[in-house]
Chains A and B, each alone.
Chain A
């Protein structure tokens, strides 16, 4: 075939109205703290406040890509509030290295391992085959099949990104979807996958980026949570919300007598490379779950599969290149932001801004959960966590509540936002299939998110306390 020599034109996207507003407003909020004297905030803190306000505006409006804002935060911190600041500033400054170090924070190492295992699972079709095996006990009735699909989606999503899980499971579900008569059953099934993927993401530290952001920030405060520790905190919520979602979706959309046939073949790859991968992946998960026994931190364990898979040639440079670096860097931006707030005295200023301890503690927690849920419904979950986690942890230090509880609660509330197609990529995929309209997604998403938020705000802190987890 005659090859065309034309390369793809790189088109610069023209900013839409919201983005234009974001750019202008970003410039304003950035400059104001630099020129206006803010009481009780040292000059270095004022600079940090400028960076933080700019990050809020850019992450909310997406005037520039999310990952671009993340690296901008790091660059501005180095240029303005580090020991290498262009214009030297009085007050405490971190070394520039400390801000760059966010890109290789231990939690990034943890995610690197998680991502590589997830990509390998796809490369060797382990995800699809596991889905086939796990679905067998659920075959038969429609509602049971949906329960099976949601359970498998959630389990995969605990270790694989929510988006990749959705893509894998939709590939499985599309033939069943096409065989169903047009109508509510299709809507229910097409909603079941993204809902389960979103909810499953809260189950482990590597399940979705907000978990990493919370973990990284907690670790920086000396309140590290182990892999198993996170699961004990989050899995009860995951199971309850998942079951409730299944109940809601099936009662609402899927009649008990809906014909639904699904047979998945499971042919496990038995090549030597695949077997090495199974051993490495299985060993990594085992080490993650047994941290209390051996004491090796989960981020160190996360780096083991990176080394093992590259050394054995099971995965190579190509696999490294296709890792989701923008996600890793987005998380790093949040970690750097938290580090800057802590190092410049902006945290003390925030605490002093308002008599936070006069507010009832429960009201404060409800506010945090509501803001997390609301903001991540319309903007990126990771960006929400990047902005809220440092603020919330700062406030929590002075309050009679466990800091860990606050960090985890924020991450969980971000994950529960699923009312709109733009809320999460899994929602966007379901919407794009044309089987789900905005109204169905909004009513389901609000019900599930609202139910989950009530549990996070009122039941979880009590449960964690009773179980002695914190």
Chain B
């Protein structure tokens, strides 16, 4: 089982830039991109078939036909995606959208465009770590992309063998 990060962004250069900035995670974490919401659900389907786990969604807000916030709300209704951490990466969400994202989608973090690479990677590391500790996953396969000090308590409980 690999952890997966899903990037939902309609503009190709932005999507590619995000994926490139997360290249450091790619040998441990499965980084997937989607250009619209149907595409994103397709990715969810593929992850499920492969036995991988959607851990984090980085969504743009303004998308053709729908909104990133709408997608984040939808995620809560599907057992495959309900536990994923949710981050908006946007420059265009107004106050109403943001309030809805926080109250109804359980938004975990907001990154304003243009993003800073170090900030982005720190947020991803932090959110993945939260996901692992919250659901008490085995941290060892993912340790290199996690905040290792924070997952050490999970390891304490294992005991010798």
Interface residues of A (CB under 8 A from B): 1-2, 4, 6, 8-9, 66, 122, 161-164, 166-168, 170-171, 174-175, 201, 208-209, 322, 324, 326-327, 330, 380-383, 424-425, 428-429, 432-434
Contacts and interface: CB of A to CB of B under 8 A. Distances in A.
Contacts of A166: 155
Given A161-B159, A201-B160, A433-B143, 14 more contacts: A8-B135, A9-B79, A163-B156, A163-B160, A167-B155, A170-B152, A171-B152, A174-B149, A209-B161, A322-B157, A324-B158, A425-B159, A429-B140, A432-B143
Contacts of A174: 148-149
Given A6-B83, A330-B161, A168 B156 contact: yes
Contacts of B149: 170-171, 174-175
A425 B153 CA distance: 14
B159 A432 contact: no
Kindly list the 9 A-B residue pairs having the minimum CB-CB distance in the complex, ordered from nearest: A324-B159, A4-B82, A432-B143, A1-B106, A432-B140, A327-B159, A167-B152, A167-B155, A434-B144
Given A2-B106, A8-B135, A429 B161 contact: no
B64 interface: no
B93 interface: no
Contacts of A163: 155-156, 158-160
A4 B158 CA distance: 28
A164 B156 contact: yes
B76 interface: yes
- Pick from A164, A166, A168, A433 the residue with the most CB of B within 10 Å: A164
B76 A432 contact: no
A167 B156 contact: yes
A30 to B, nearest CB: 24
Contact of A327 (B82, B102, B141, B160): B160
B153 A4 contact: no
B158 A432 contact: no
B156 A432 contact: no
Interface of B: 76, 79, 82-83, 102-106, 135, 139-141, 143-144, 148-149, 152-153, 155-161
A428 B140 CA distance: 8
Contacts of A122: 156
11 contacts: A2-B76, A6-B79, A9-B79, A164-B156, A327-B159, A330-B161, A382-B161, A425-B155, A425-B159, A425-B160, A429-B140
Contacts of A66: 161
Contacts of A382: 160-161
Given A9-B79, A432-B140, A434-B143, A425 B152 contact: no
A51 B104 CA distance: 56
Given A167-B155, A429-B155, A434-B144, A209 B104 contact: no
A161 B160 contact: yes
Contacts of B155: 163-164, 166-167, 425, 429
Contacts of B159: 161, 163-164, 324, 326-327, 425
A424 B161 CA distance: 7
Contact of A2 (B105, B139, B161): B105
A130 to B, nearest CB: 16
A8 B160 CA distance: 26
A262 to B, nearest CB: 14
Given A167-B152, A432-B141, A4 B157 contact: no
Contacts of B102: 1
B160 A168 contact: no
B118 to A, nearest CB: 15
A218 B105 CA distance: 60
Nearest to A3: B106
A234 to B, nearest CB: 16
A380 B161 contact: yes
Contact of B152 (A2, A168, A324, A381): A168
A167 B140 CA distance: 12
Contact of B83 (A4, A381, A425, A434): A4
Contact of A170 (B104, B141, B148): B148
A175 B160 CA distance: 25
